[in-house]
Amino acid sequence: MTVLPLIFAMFEQLPAVEAGQLLLVIAIAFVIITLIASAYRFHNLVQLEEKDLSTIEAVNDYFFIQVTRYLSKINRTSSGFGLYILQLFAPEKITREKQEQVLKAILEILRSESDNVCLYREDCIGIIIDTEEENLPVASARLLHDLRNLIKLQFPEIVNFRIGASSFPMHGMNTQKIIDIAAEALEQADTGNPEPFLMAPPPVKEEDAEDAEGSEKPAKDEIDEDENLIVGELSKEDKNASLDPLTGVLKPAVIGSYMRKYLSEIRQKRKPAAVICIGVNRLELITKLYSEIATEDVIAGVSKIIQQLTRDTDLIGRYHFGDFLILAPCTPEQGELIATRIRNAVNKETFETQGRKIKTSVSAGISGYPNHGRLLRDLFRGAHTALEVVRSWDTSACLMYDRSLDGKAKDKKR
């Protein structure tokens, strides 16, 4: 016998008032279980084991992460970048070793430290040029010239190549979409052309396509219907995007996966790393005194400050309602300085919402690799523990994790 018939039978035997009370209890329990499951999902994300780049799937996944890192710089120091997929051709199959040699050589000819190169697929290399969109034609021509000379001088066994490209913001803010558009341009690039390069054209809007065909303007009800379709498509794209629409940083659903792989990259370069948990204080009070909209405005304002006071190389995500996570390639002490700057800036800031001015504060916990662990799960646990200890003090402060802090947050809350 299934559970649902039992529940319905139980409701039929209860008086109306008691049945309503029981239904309310079940609804509240369902909400609590949903919230716990959401938090558990994030903790599972950060506790998964590290993966190396031994498979094509892992290589493509890693490339996806790098593109998302550039997207996460929105509203920060850069407002655009170009994504290039380079495909190499040779009489014999290009080995992984040869692919990596070409990658390292390309890295040396890039003009800016903020540019990046990654392996992609079996025979491709992904290149990210960090520049304003209006500068991309010049940057593309320079890249093509440098690649041609590089391959001719250092890799004579490569007989041909082609490049497909896309860009942000022209081709949207969805990581997978930007990669797919560049890959489609790659397939259309002509290797027999003296310029084997193709930048994907701007997306064609629906009304532009109709004008190009010379069709008559649709009636008003048809316009309304078309607009609803467009809104639906945008909503679907937003759900698939990697960025949180409120704060402009990584979504809770992807933050663990992306940061694990970024930490792996930092470790491979033998560099230190700091993990910073930042929590916005007094959000419940702000909601109670003002509104949920005011609370969201404050969270968005704090996120803007975090983005302004971190570097391009720092990865930022929102892992809980008012909590942010930063992974920075620096020492724990430098991470503490970053957290302190953010704390001081937020404490001085006045956030405007609905005609009101609101003050808040943040607290932060910091941990570091390799001092406090090798995996993201250990570093997150340490930084989050330090944040919870500060919160139990009911103050605004930054605290470096130490193993002596374990259990203190729970003790003080009692």
pLDDT at 240 over 70: no
Residue 27 included in any domain? no
Q: What is the Rg, in whole angstroms, of the alpha carbon atoms belonging to the chain?
A: 26
What single letter denotes the amino acid at residue 233?
A: E
Claim to verify: residue 128 and residue 258 sit in the same structural domain: no
Domain assignment of residue 293, given as a range: 252-413
Q: CATH number of the domain that 162 lies in?
A: 3.30.70.270
Which range has the worst mean pLDDT, 45-54, 70-79, 114-123, 327-336? 45-54
Considering 161, 179, 199, which residue would you say is the last residue of a domain? 199
- Mean pLDDT value of segment 198-202: 83
Residue 65 included in any domain? yes
Distance, CA of 66 to CA of 261 (rounded, Å): 9
Q: Write out the two tokens for 51.
A: 């993966």
Claim to verify: residue 91 and residue 167 sit in the same structural domain: yes
Residue 227 included in any domain? no
Considering 138, 169, 199, which residue would you say is the last residue of a domain? 199
Strand locations in 230-382, DSSP E?
273-280, 315-320, 323-328, 351-353, 356-358, 362-369
Distance, CA of 217 to CA of 227 (rounded, Å): 14
Strands 116-120 and 81-89: unpaired
Claim to verify: residue 172 and residue 272 sit in the same structural domain: no
Q: In Å, how far are 82, 195, 207, 246, 315 from 228, measured between CA atoms?
A: 31, 41, 14, 22, 35
Claim to verify: residue 261 and residue 340 sit in the same structural domain: yes
Distance, CA of 91 to CA of 231 (rounded, Å): 48
**How high is the pLDDT of residue 227?**
29
pLDDT at 226 over 60: no
- Mean pLDDT value of segment 68-88: 75
Residue 233 included in any domain? no
Claim to verify: residue 261 and residue 409 sit in the same structural domain: yes
pLDDT tens-digit readout, 206-225: 444 444 444 444 333 332 33
Claim to verify: residue 188 and residue 113 sit in the same structural domain: yes
Q: In Å, how far are 32, 117, 147, 232, 270 from 81, measured between CA atoms?
A: 42, 13, 19, 27, 27
**How many structural domains compose the chain?**
2
Claim to verify: residue 260 and residue 321 sit in the same structural domain: yes
- Mean pLDDT value of segment 57-73: 77
Claim to verify: residue 277 and residue 394 sit in the same structural domain: yes
Residue 312 included in any domain? yes
Strand locations in 286-349, DSSP E?
315-320, 323-328
Residue 359 included in any domain? yes
Considering 199, 234, 264, which residue would you say is the last residue of a domain? 199
Distance, CA of 55 to CA of 61 (rounded, Å): 10
Residue 22 included in any domain? no
* % pLDDT > 90, the chain: 36
Residue 14 included in any domain? no
Q: Which is more confidently placed, 200 or 234?
A: 200
pLDDT tens-digit readout, 246-266: 888 888 888 888 888 888 888
Claim to verify: residue 189 and residue 258 sit in the same structural domain: no
Largest Cα span, the chain: 87
Residues 6+ apart with CB under 8 A from 94: 88, 122, 123, 158
Q: At 47, is the pLDDT very low, low, confident or very high (cuts 50, 70, 90)?
A: very low
**How high is the pLDDT of residue 13?**
61
Q: At 46, is the pLDDT very low, low, confident or very high (cuts 50, 70, 90)?
A: very low
